[in-house]
Amino acid sequence: MDFKKIYQEKLTTAEEAVKVVKSGDWVDYGWVVATPIELDKALAKRLPELKDLNFRGGILFWEPEIFKVPDAAKYMTWNSWHMSGLERKAIDKGFCFYDPIRYSEMPRYYRDLPRGIDVAMFQVSEMDEDGYFNFGPSASHMQAMIERCKCVIVEVNKNMPRCLGSKTVRGEAVHINQVDMIVEGNNPPIVEMGGGGAATEVDKTVAKLIVEEIPNGACLQLGIGGMPNAVGSLIAQSDLKDLGVHTEMYVDAFVDISLAGKITGSKKNIDRGRQTYAFGAGTKKLYDYINNNPECLSAPVDYTNDVRVISSIDNFMSINNAVEIDLFGQVSAESTGFKHISGAGGQLDFVLGAYLSKGGKSFICLSSTVKGKDGQLQSRIVPSFANGTIITDTRANTHYVVTEYGKVNLKGLTTWQRAEALISIAHPDFREGLIKDAEKAKIWRKSNK
């Protein structure tokens, strides 16, 4: 089959391609760095001609042109699988909404959609000699999404990394036979995610408490944020060896650990020698590292985040952030009150899977305090959540909790033991107040005061 000939037959302009979109359609914009650019610009020009257009996407790194259309809420909704800062700001504009998920289930959501998807448009790498366009560092749920899509439009970017799958775990690319139209973009560099600044002393203290729990040969999952990255930096400088990676998001910290010679994957029960991930986002260092790298395995999220898969890997270490935790051990990583901050993502998947792993541990890490808008310190260990706060991990699932004041294992503890443990790692200025709140909630033993 002459794939180059088929390529030319399907090649068109962005302006022509977006003419397929009609009022009432559901349009998928892909995921993270695969979000379209030229197609987005062309569709933004058409947006005022349309009505009731519904988009899906997530973790935007730049503001799409459709967001900039005056009175965009008159024409569209943006439905995000996982909010970035840009999407949080768009909530106030009346067209942006969160789609609550358990990330591991996302491919099935697409396969179970009653009406499927009308149009999908997203960035890909150049076509290879076998007719495949690689999804880059965004395999996630893309394969399942394409299965339910009536019209697939790819925007080729020569700078998109080619991220390798495996013979047994596929989902890293789409074949030209599944593509309806091809648009050649202007090949911009892949957008980088900011590092979020240098690790603070609090980050470093928390990281040290976690790293001392990690054995040689452990398999790592790091969430996004300063503390998980601080853990990664400390691991890169440690004496640990033969570490593995099986994660939802591939971040710069993994590159640092790899270049320090700490990752071999030789002890992994599955995907031995491979660093497995559902999507990646970071600096150019990361994109260069994962490009055509046989050590790295780009896989669908219903594989990477499947609790059964995670639990099959011995000594699995899951490290994630939280916004707040209450005295019962409930974790919120998504909101504070009605203020939306993030999505559920795969945190619960890894919390559950790590605990089921032989020798596995799940760590929820957070600073003990945060400054409010008034400049005053507020405890992030709270007696109860504010009205509207979303619970990401239920109290029964929380394992280790770590602040700069220590770490506690909540598994098997009664309510009064949990309250005592969590108060012990709260900021000292708030402990007396938390004890009083625990007494009111009937979860405190006075003899332990």
Active site residues: 248
Asked whether the beta carbons of 304 and 248 are under 8 A apart, the reply is: yes
Cα 425 from Cα 180, distance rounded (Å) = 56
b/e map of 93-102 (b: 16 or more CB within 10 Å)?
A: eebbebeebb
How many alpha carbons fall within 13 Å on the CB side of residue 140? Answer: 30
Strand order in the sheet with 331-332: 331-332, 324-326, 381-382
What is the DSSP annotation of 278-328?
EEE---HHHHHHHTT-TTEEE--HHHHT-HHHHHTSTTEEEEEE-SEEETT
Cα 446 from Cα 449, distance rounded (Å) = 5
Nearest to 95 by CA among 115, 117, 70, 116: 70
Tokens of 367: 């600073």
Tokens of 190: 């892949």
Cα 39 from Cα 163, distance rounded (Å) = 23
φ and ψ at residue 107, rounded to 5 degrees: -55, -40
Cα 132 from Cα 337, distance rounded (Å) = 45
Cα 140 from Cα 122, distance rounded (Å) = 13
Asked whether the beta carbons of 140 and 279 are under 8 A apart, the reply is: yes
Tokens of 165: 């799958």
Tokens of 365: 């890490």
